[in-house]
Structure 1
């Protein structure tokens, strides 16, 4: 006989996302925050113009140490900094095109957000590229 209690599913804890400089400060951040996630924009993490001179391996190490999920539109990071990725536990997602507008970038991340969340439940390191209709694993 049912007890009358309703089982409640626990909401997953919000993820903390780091946005590389190429994603801007507004559109992608606003979309992620609207879904309840914490967002760290590169210009806020590294203020006073430091974000413009920050080398990829430096912010990658910092983001990894903080346990954040890194978002970028620079899919070449996986080739250029493979050793840094291999020695980390970083979870990274990149857009497949650097020519998308801010609104298009936000829409692409939102389209894949559930799959991003699912993939982030597993440990890194990994690097996935978001296409219009699919996600491709580039590393490992």
Structure 2
């Protein structure tokens, strides 16, 4: 029996999580997603600023997966999260291998699905066994 993802909104995966392994592992679990590289193309994806992809992915109604929470400390990115009611999920530990990053998201899919069904703006930290809402004000 294959493990299937709970009902999630479509997911946008930032380049910080990588182009191949993390998206592949999430898709194998049933997550419907678009990577930054798929959306913008290669090599254009390397030049897309965070404020741009946050705004455009949020306007699509997608939830956003990213690698680390430093985005909440950057005024322009924080403003985009608020302005576009972005629903964001970042890893608590940015020093993980790709398979470990994917596992953090996969272990928390039920909680991510519940949180992702709520209106934004918000930013959750995705940890080994839970998610935690972070202040983005």
Which residue pairs with 1:30 in the alignment?
24
The answer for unaligned runs of 5 or more in structure 1 is: 1-10
2:108: which partner in 1? 112
Which of 116-125 and 75-84 deviates more? 75-84
Q: Paired residue for 1:86?
A: 82
TM-score (norm 2): 0.86
Measured after TM superposition, the shift of residue 49 of structure 1 is 1.2
Q: Which whole-Å CA distance do the structure 2 matches of 1:61 and 1:120 have between them?
A: 16
Runs of 4+ in 1 over 3 A off after TM superposition: 11-14
The structure having more radius of gyration, on CA atoms, is 1
Q: In the TM superposition, what is the alpha-carbon distance from 1:12 to its structure 2 partner?
A: 6.7
Contact 1:14 1:36 (C-alpha < 8 Å) held by counterparts: no
SS in 2 for 1:60: helix
Whole-Å Cα distance in 2 between the matches of residues 83 and 65 of structure 1? Answer: 14
- Alignment size in residue pairs: 130
Asked which structure has the greater RCO (Cα within 8 Å, sep 6+), the reply is 2
Partner Cα separation in structure 1 for residue 32 and residue 130 of structure 2? 24
Q: Which residue of 1 aligns with 2:13?
A: 19
Show CA shifts across 1:70-129 (max 9, x none).
000121111112212121211100001221111000111111111000111111110001
Structure with greater proportional helix content: 2
TM-score under structure 1 normalisation? 0.84
Give yes or no for the alignment of 1:97 onto 2:131: no
